[in-house]
A and B are shown apart, each in its own frame.
Chain A
Amino acid sequence: MSDEPQDRRVDRRSFLARMGALGAAAALGTPFAASGSGHFDRTGLRGSSPEGAREFWQGVRRTLPASVDSPAELTASEAAVLIREGTLDPVELVEACLDRIGRWDDRYLAFNTVLAEEARASARALNSEGDDAGLLRGIPLAVKDNYYTEGVLTTANSHIFRDFRPEWDAEAVRRLRSAGGIVIGKTQMGPLATTRALTPDGKITTVNAWTPANPSVSPGGSSSGSATAVAARMASSSIGTQTGGSITVPALAQGLTGLKPTMGRVSLRGVIPLTYSRDHPGPIARDARDAALLLQVMAGPDPADPRTLGLPPVPDYLTAATPRGDQEDEPIRWPTRLGVLPGWADGDDPAASGRRAFLREMEAAGVRMVEVTPSEQWDELSSSLMNAVRLPERTEPFLEYLREDVRLFGVSLNSWMQGLFLSADEYLKGQRARHALLASTLDEIFGHCDAVVQTGHVPFDMIGLPLLALPTGHRPTEDGPRPHGILLGAPPFGEERLLSIAAAWQTRTEHHRVRPPVLDELREARLLPPAGASRGRLSAEDVAERSQ
């Protein structure tokens, strides 16, 4: 196990010089490519040392809840510990999740497809495999409906894919299953990964698990169903994709820990593309430990996705997410400088109080605060203007469908059409701006710190750097308490650093353990609208405006 995280061992100057060549090579990658990489350690321990894994499981064991109403209330790591110890049967865990889906998902509408029988069969099969079944043995996972799943509908909530049953699993899904994970269902999403979960024609589907009686409160998009499934304890953990905030926004909206890894860290083969150069697969989890567990399994090179090749080896995320147990007063794993933007913690609202509490606790945990002030040029380079450069990348792979019938795009059509009207010189201008933004980020921000607080996801989405969202508290609303949280960014391959900070925070606080209201109680109190009642709709203009 390394004594320092990977972000300290990267040569940034040579990487800046090399980016152009990698960009050209990676352009060959296509999610429509054929299957078959086979390079995977089925234990899911790639990058994790036996010592790191042991320390991780010991840490989880120490903080197990004294009792739970249902195994579905356990985090993925907690359930995994109990399964490894033989005190929880994977079948029991799967049944607990299916029971909740059966009772509640007519209100949450988190799932497009529930794989009840397949999940039961997988759980039963794992019981005969013993301890060799991998890191995620028996863990029920919700998978966003833009990941290919063999023989299972993969719709991306779009007319285009309404009958699409892939013949193979996306590489990320294949790895999760190989490590013993059980896909319990495919989750609702924004049509083609654009905005909050909707039908292709714009009707609101998934609700926020914190406000199931009020569909106007966004569950966060576009990985809405994955977040609601986990927040409502219908799956132990989940995966989403992020092109413009689609992991971190739903995580923040629903009190979860979402991690968008560095571009290339997780294969995109078998993910329906939205923007080749900005799509990122990653976990939406209950806490940092669960995010580490999933990323440990998902990460690594895939010969069929050149974006994943030639990168630093997969490090030990489990260790990163394990606070130092023997130093309770200083649980941060590595010496860390956290960049704080001027005014970031100012304000009188609960979210600002949460930000200040985070800074206080992190200082107490040994993190050194450093004020960082990005330049005006940094702001320009990461503006909504430069963000628009992503649009031709979404249009190009879908041209045949645009020619076939534009109605296939439903309410998502506008941004696909806009992508046809950016010229090549303007597109190149945007790629040059991304290069400038990255250099500016490394110099103005990460020249002074190891991780940085962020106020939005766009800059780090544009340049493929890792982002982590975590909850910092809850604020009262007329719909009941709703979570708030913060975003942290890191330099290339800084996932360990982000996980170490999140784990230190979550060791000292309980916000990530607070669950949304129990649906049965709302139902008994007659606080829910009738099942099947209209939830409203978004127009094409709404979707284009909110598009990821």
Chain B
Amino acid sequence: MPRRLPRPPRPLSALLAASLLVTVAWALLIPPFHAPDEDGHYAYAQSLAENLTRPPFHDPAVTHGPQLSPSVRMAEAFARTGSFWLVERDSQRPFWDGYAQRRYEAALRAHPPPSDRVDTAEYQSTDPPLYHAWAAIAYRVASTPNVFSRLFAMRLWTAPLVLLTVLGAWLLAGELFGPDRTLQLVVAGCVGLQPMVTFMSSGVNPDAAALPASAFVLWLTVRVVRRKPSRRVLLALAASLVAAVLSKTVLISLLPAAAVALVVALRRFGRWPRRGWAVVAPALIAAVVVGLAVVAAASPDSLPPVSKLGGFFNYLWSYYSPRSAWAPRVGGLPPHPFYRIWLRGAWGEFGSADVHFPSGVYKVLALVSVATFAGAVMALIRRRFAQDRAVLLVAGLAAAGLVLGLHVGDYAQVSRFGITVTLGRYLLPLLPIAGVAAAVALRNLPPRWRLHGGALVLSSMFALDLVALGLVARRFYA
């Protein structure tokens, strides 16, 4: 008799429903092809669905020729969206009445473009294929020549991935706090209601798959450290890592954290061989080398030349130095890149990165972020939370690995072309760690006030979602 799946805890069920609802709201509100690089990702999924091959790559900045696919080009031309959204962002809008939609439908009936032709997916052609394969299922099921209907089906098919993201964060919190539902809810809510998570989970974009995969990697990494791992857990960790890397290449940077977690587990649970480090240290180095080789093979431009190591440290200094506004700037970086790129982008940068909160909001959010991590440190110092140094180590390694991986890729672009390509949303895979910090910070409160604190955190996150949705509606439709 098949084993019944356990019923999810009620707080989790309610949070999952809330998170999905907000994500679906984003999917409905964002105009077609206005999630980041959505047309490129659509063309990628189209190529997989129609031809079972990845789309050809050519760099639109260097190689001339038709981009995307004839069907996407036609749809964008009629809807005045996506690639046609170029310079004049302030007053440019999608079409506002049914005239253009009717003309598109008439043109589609008269001269339907070939569905199976994909010229390129622009810069997205080098992305790994897992998310696009997932999106291709919705593309096939929504059997219509109307690109907008297909795009909407793909968005709706993508949205439930946010449920896995929330579940991963919930399980991570359970591993750390035990069955303290309030703290689990805070961690999962900080992830599942964070406006960039709901926004990025609503569009056709591999971040929607990278977020749940990385949440599961973080949970299973911590689980391996905390409890003797079974074979099933190890397999699940390996599968999550593979899913993460096949969704977004840079998530290979989570590999060192997972490897160290395995080493810690071996030491803790009694299978650590004599002279174990003699085996493990070279294995870790080999893993890093293999990782770099995979990244170099997948996208050769993403690694800077070794000879530019000194320049890389200058770049890092200008990224994080508080005086970077006055220090000599590394070409392509804005003043205070840590704030401008990481913080603003991770909290809220919507549409094709052209809709933002008012700048004062980011300053408040910066203070909230600092207060959260300071509160977490205070709770650790006050021993309000049973510390496990190994957990801190693997969480720190995961964060440092991803940030370093992003910087290496960014520096390659900065040194070659003088432009920065990092965006704050690339940090979102680490959001479960930030959620844990918020929950740990709540432990500074007396137990009877923690639920109130949790209510404030969750409702504030949702309030940010509401404001962000309002700003997007104003930007595109008013």
Q: Do A and B come from one complex?
A: no
Residues of B within 8 A of A (CB): none
Residues of A within 8 A of B (CB): none
